[in-house]
Amino acid sequence: MNPAYSVIFFTTASGAGYGAIVWLVVLALLGIVPLTPALGASVFVVSLALITAGLLSSTFHLGHPERAWRALSQWRSSWLSREGVAALATYIPILVFAVGSLFFSAHNNIWIWFGLIAAGLCLVTVGCTGMIYASLRAIPRWSTPLVVPLYIAFAMSTGAVLVIAIASIFWATPGILAWFTAVITLAAWMLKIAYWRQIDTAKPVATAESATGLGVIGKVRLLESPHNSENYVMREMGYTIARKHAARLRKIALVVGGIATALALVIAGLLPAPYAIATSFVALICAATGILIERWLFFAEARHAASLYYGASEV
Amino acid sequence: MTSLPTSNDGRKLGLVIDLDICVGCHACAVNCKEWNTGGHSAPLTDENPYGADPQGVWFNRVHSFEAGDGDSGRTVHFPRSCLHCDEPACVTVCPTGASYKRESDGIVLVNADTCIGCKLCSWACPYGAREYDYADGVMKKCTMCIDRIENQHLPPEDRLPACVSTCPASARHFGDLGDPNSDVSLLVAERGGYDLMPEMGMQPVNKYLPPRASTRHDLETPASPPEAIPASTDTGSDFLNWVDRMLTR
Ligand code: SF4
Ligand code: SF4
């Protein structure tokens, strides 16, 4: 599948934003981090900016962005529609929780309930994003049970790194929290390794033989394409990446997004507050780089069944 | 509404494509393009049509495959278009309701006035049957020529999809595949018509008829030596050749 930058940015940026809000609610609930107005406001502003920028960027690739509101109508059948509805609905409890916890600074009463609703809806929204991909049977590498957990795991891990980085500015990062985030980051990447292993060893779901029904005669090969230039289907669905490049990019993503991020977080947890700022931001940059490569690969490595009509032998 | 129709009167209009007969002439694809660029989903925009890298929207494309090896190998021409599936994921993923399946006859259509051009339907279709129109910003696909098959201004014999009416080899058939006694259903039953990629679960309505078993005799050892080629009677002169032909008639 063609890795469209607007969708890569949308899924990674909004994922981190939603993850950060969930962590903020958890921290407020447990009272681990003193939710000073400055820290709380910073996390809310950055998260909402990431979510909003992501949502806007996802409308850039539409043919008719001015009709985007129509996408809210088919929530009964469409995961894309459900994602839109969930994304908009999530704003309400987030804003109520933000206002309540910042201006009334009461964490243990009514406001925390809005926080819990906000956290729940954040997870639902990220889950809907995952389901958009996981529900597409035409793309076997997406249509697996690991895709939704992966989207949620990366939203939570990148969101946690974001909270740590912001908190470090306010000297408010207990070391244990940075270490915990390192563990979450590594866990998300372990899940990704499991996914890679799964798609590498999975049996092909469809073949050129089943796509044409000509397998009874023998092995099927494309002799002539219908036309000599690229069409929409080949451009959008025919994108392929050489195994060699994919393997290299997987390693880079894992080392930068997983190992380097976790290391920087461990070090940040050991350093006194002022010094933890730099390492926390190194972790943030590593996490962002890793997730962008991961998401690019998620698209680039996925093969669409329609490519069987254009020369692929199996998907 | 992109939820699938829960009831219909059993009508499933669709195509039956005979891979034994198709000669790969692309006439169906060309006539489809010609009709539909003025039809329900018009226009089928072409970009850079006379340039080095032309692109454009087509509803129907003819691929050519090789199947098998050696003497049993075959070249099979393979027209491919929307199969108007019974369980079309392209419809249920659509967030706007622009994609829909008609309750009355199962034809799958796109409403160009409400489509936002998100392209998700084209991702959901395993058959690559939907093509995005970059100029119009909306998705386009085979309409089963609803503006021909129901067109009271056309003589009844022309109320067929453009691809079916134009096929010079009669490799394409149109009819109600929901009626087990229709001509197309009988043809499918007789010839062992099949679904493309049934593992995708889309339950396509269109059916393909397999190429018949090979009847090539030239692979068998000839029973008698080939007939001697008659000696040339060329006299070297056009006039004398003409006289010769006249006299030997
Ligand atoms: S062939 Fe593709 S576009 Fe046509 S109905 Fe089936 S899934 Fe939808
Ligand atoms: S491109 Fe149009 S028809 Fe296709 S899913 Fe999006 S809104 Fe629906």
pTM of the model: 0.91
pLDDT tens readout for residues B153-196: 999 999 999 999 999 999 999 999 999 999 999 999 999 999 99
Q: Residue B247 falls within a domain, yes or no?
A: no
List per-residue pLDDT tens for chain A, 315 residues long.
999 999 999 999 999 999 999 999 998 888 776 667 888 899 999 999 999 999 999 998 899 999 999 999 999 999 999 999 999 999 999 999 998 888 876 555 788 899 999 999 999 999 999 999 999 999 999 999 999 999 999 999 999 999 999 999 988 777 899 999 999 999 999 999 999 999 999 999 999 999 999 999 999 999 999 998 999 999 999 999 999 999 999 999 999 999 999 999 999 999 988 889 999 999 999 999 999 999 999 999 999 999 999 999 999
CA quadruple A254, A257, A262, A264: dihedral positive or negative?
Answer: positive
Residue (of A51, A40, A44, A50) closest to A86 by Cα position: A51
Hey, is the C-beta of B205 within 8 angstroms of any chain A C-beta?
A: no
End-to-end CA distance of chain B: 73
Taking the C-alpha atoms of residue A188 and residue A253, their distance in angstroms, rounded to an integer, is: 12
Residue B40's alpha-carbon distances to A133, A232, B102, in angstroms, are 31, 20, 15
Q: Residue B4 falls within a domain, yes or no?
A: no
For position B79, what pLDDT does the model report?
Answer: 98
Q: In chain B, positions 134-153, which contact chain A (CB-CB < 8 Å)?
A: 134, 136-138
Domain residues for B112?
13-219
What dihedral do alpha carbons B55, B56, B61, B64 form, nearest 10°? 0
Give 10-residue mean pLDDT values along chain B (249 residues).
73 97 98 97 95 95 96 94 98 98 96 98 98 97 97 95 98 97 98 98 98 71 52 64 69
A21: left (phi over 0), alpha (psi -120 to 50) or beta: alpha
Q: Across-strand partners of B47? A: B55
Contact list, B80 vs chain A (CB under 8 Å): 226, 309
φ/ψ of residue A155, rounded to 5: -60, -45
Hey, is the C-beta of B98 within 8 angstroms of any chain A C-beta?
A: yes
Question: To probe the interface with A, which of B19, B45, B75, B78 has the most A CB atoms within 10 Å?
Answer: B78
Of B75, B125, B208, the CB nearest to A223: B75
Residue B166's alpha-carbon distances to A30, A226, A292, in angstroms, are 72, 18, 50
| Ligand 2 shell residues, CB under 6 Å | B 93-94, 96, 98-99, 110, 115-121, 139
Q: In chain A, positions 128-147, which contact chain B (CB-CB < 8 Å)?
A: 132, 135-139
Question: CA geometry: angle at A238 spanning A154 and B60, to 5°?
Answer: 130
For position B219, what pLDDT does the model report?
Answer: 57
User: From the CB of residue B160, how many other CB atoms can be counted at a distance below 10 Å?
Assistant: 19
The beta strands (E) that lie in B129-238 are given as: 131-133, 138-140, 172-176, 207-209
CA quadruple A196, A197, A202, A207: dihedral positive or negative?
Answer: positive
- B10 with B173: CB under 8 angstroms? no
User: From the CB of B85, is ligand 1 less than 6 Å away?
Assistant: yes
Q: Kind of pairing, strands B46-47 and B55-56?
A: antiparallel
Taking the C-alpha atoms of residue A299 and residue A292, their distance in angstroms, rounded to an integer, is: 11
Question: CA geometry: angle at A308 spanning A303 and A311, to 5°?
Answer: 105
Atom of ligand 1 nearest to the CA of B124: 7
Q: Residue B234 falls within a domain, yes or no?
A: no
User: From the CB of B62, is ligand 1 less than 6 Å away?
Assistant: no
Q: How far is CA A73 from the centre of its chain?
A: 24
Give me the CATH number covering residue B194.
3.30.70.20
Q: Can you tell me whether residue B131 is helix, strand or coil?
A: strand
Q: Residue B51 falls within a domain, yes or no?
A: yes
For residue B95, the CA-to-ligand 2 centroid distance in Å is 7
For position A175, what pLDDT does the model report?
Answer: 87
Nearest CA in chain B to A137: B200
For position B235, what pLDDT does the model report?
Answer: 60
User: From the CB of B127, is ligand 1 less than 6 Å away?
Assistant: yes
Going by C-beta distance under 8 Å and a sequence separation of 6 or more, which residues neighbour residue B186? none
Q: Give the ligand at the shortest distance from the Cα of B60.
A: 1
Taking the C-alpha atoms of residue A65 and residue A56, their distance in angstroms, rounded to an integer, is: 9
Element of type H or E holding A70 = none
Taking the C-alpha atoms of residue B46 and residue B135, their distance in angstroms, rounded to an integer, is: 9
**Identity of the amino acid at A172:** A
Mutation test residue for ligand 2: of B3, B82, B113, B120, the one with most atoms within 8 Å of CB: B120
| CA distance, residue B12 to nearest chain A CA (Å) | 22
Taking the C-alpha atoms of residue A153 and residue A146, their distance in angstroms, rounded to an integer, is: 10
For position A60, what pLDDT does the model report?
Answer: 87
Structurally, chain B folds into a number of domains equal to 1
CA-nearest residue, atom 6 of ligand 1: B85
Asked if B116 lies within 8 A of A229 by C-beta distance, the reply is no
For residue B144, the CA-to-ligand 1 centroid distance in Å is 12
Contact list, A63 vs chain B (CB under 8 Å): 115-119, 132-134, 136-138
For position A37, what pLDDT does the model report?
Answer: 82
Taking the C-alpha atoms of residue A2 and residue A299, their distance in angstroms, rounded to an integer, is: 6
Hey, is the C-beta of B192 within 8 angstroms of any chain A C-beta?
A: no
Q: In chain A, positions 221-260, which contact chain B (CB-CB < 8 Å)?
A: 221-227, 229-233, 236-237
Q: Residue B114 falls within a domain, yes or no?
A: yes
Q: Residue B116 falls within a domain, yes or no?
A: yes
Q: Residue B40 falls within a domain, yes or no?
A: yes
Residue A97 tokens read as 């929780």
For residue A79, the CA-to-ligand 1 centroid distance in Å is 18
User: From the CB of B42, is ligand 1 less than 6 Å away?
Assistant: no
Q: Give the ligand at the shortest distance from the Cα of A136.
A: 1
Question: To probe the interface with A, which of B123, B140, B208, B212 has the most A CB atoms within 10 Å?
Answer: B123
Alpha helical stretches, state H, chain A: 5-30, 37-60, 79-103, 110-134, 147-169, 175-201, 208-212, 232-237, 243-253, 261-270, 273-300
For position A112, what pLDDT does the model report?
Answer: 86
User: From the CB of B15, is ligand 1 less than 6 Å away?
Assistant: no
For position B236, what pLDDT does the model report?
Answer: 65
Biggest distance spanned by C-alpha atoms of chain A? 75
Domains of chain A listed by start with CATH number: 5-310 (1.20.1630.10)
Q: Residue B18 falls within a domain, yes or no?
A: yes
The beta strands (E) that lie in chain B are given as: 13-18, 46-47, 55-56, 61-67, 74-80, 99-101, 108-110, 131-133, 138-140, 172-176, 207-209
Element of type H or E holding A144 = none
